[in-house]
């Protein structure tokens, strides 16, 4: 069941769980006392915030394209001349064989954009 979950989904799960636990201070107070509930809520807020920052940093356009290219069943991702410099770099990277220009005549424009 969990073998096809992406890194982004795991981080979102951590954020959701930390938010759920951190938001249940009334129940936590009953279970672990006032001090324990305060520590748990603080820890959950910290974990949720840090995971959110990590998620923001790892879900940029290029990382999403690389994750999709790595999925089974994806044969090719075509990138046109309107790509960002970061995406153009991925499209011209020989280490990313599933990502490339829409047509061979677009490749020089992508190489130039990736160098900028």
pLDDT digits (tens, 9 = 90+) for 16-62: 999 998 888 889 898 999 999 999 999 999 999 999 999 988 888 88
- pLDDT for 1: 62
* DSSP string computed for 3-26: TT--HHHHHHHHHHHHHHHHT-HH
User: CA 103, CA 94: separation in Å to the nearest integer?
Assistant: 16
Distance of CA 97 to the CA centre of its chain: 21
Total Cβ atoms within 10 A of residue 65: 20
Least reliable range by pLDDT among 34-48, 53-67, 78-92, 94-108? 53-67
Axis crossing angle, helix 25-58 with helix 7-22, rounded to the nearest 10: 150
User: CA 103, CA 106: separation in Å to the nearest integer?
Assistant: 6
């Amino acid at each position: 069941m969990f073998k096809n979950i992406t890194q982004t989904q795991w981080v979102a799960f951590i954020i959701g769980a930390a938010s759920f636990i951190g938001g249940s201070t009334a129940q936590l107070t009953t279970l672990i006392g006032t001090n324990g509930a305060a520590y748990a809520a603080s820890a959950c807020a910290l974990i949720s915030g840090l995971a959110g920052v990590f998620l923001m940093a790892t879900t940029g356009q290029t990382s999403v394209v690389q994750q999709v290219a790595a999925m089974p069943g994806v044969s090719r991702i075509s990138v046109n001349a309107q790509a960002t410099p970061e995406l153009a770099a991925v499209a011209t990277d020989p280490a990313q064989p599933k990502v490339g220009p829409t047509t061979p005549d677009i490749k020089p424009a992508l190489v130039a954009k990736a160098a900028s």
